[in-house]
Amino acid sequence: MSVLRSARRLAALSAAAALLAAAHPALAQSGSGRQPAPKGAEVYFHYPLDGLRVPERFTVRMGLKEMGLAPAGTEWPNTGHHHLLINTEPGPPDQPIPADYNNIHLGNGQSEVVVTLPKGRHTLQLLLGDHNHVPHDPPVMSRKITIYVR
Residues that bind Cu ion in the complex, under the rule CB under 5 A: 105, 129, 133
Give the CA count within 13 Å in the CB-facing half-sphere of 87: 12
How is residue 88 annotated by DSSP?
S
d(CA 67, CA 65): 6
> In the complex, what is the shortest distance from the CB of residue 135 to Cu ion, in angstroms, rounded to a whole number?
10
> In the complex, what is the shortest distance from the CB of residue 79 to Cu ion, in angstroms, rounded to a whole number?
12
Helix or strand (DSSP H, E) at 147: strand 145-149
Q: In this structure, how many other beta carbons lie within 10 angstroms of the beta carbon of residue 55? A: 10
Indicate the residue among 54 and 97 with the shorter CB distance to Cu ion: 97
Indicate the residue among 48 and 131 with the shorter CB distance to Cu ion: 131
> In the complex, what is the shortest distance from the CB of residue 23 to Cu ion, in angstroms, rounded to a whole number?
24
> In the complex, what is the shortest distance from the CB of residue 9 to Cu ion, in angstroms, rounded to a whole number?
15
Indicate the residue among 34 and 133 with the shorter CB distance to Cu ion: 133
Indicate the residue among 41 and 54 with the shorter CB distance to Cu ion: 41
Residue 41 CB contacts under 8 Å (≥ 6 apart), including other chains:
64, 65, 66, 67, 78, 128, 136, 140
Yes or no: say if 105 and 97 are a contact pair by the CB < 8 Å rule: yes
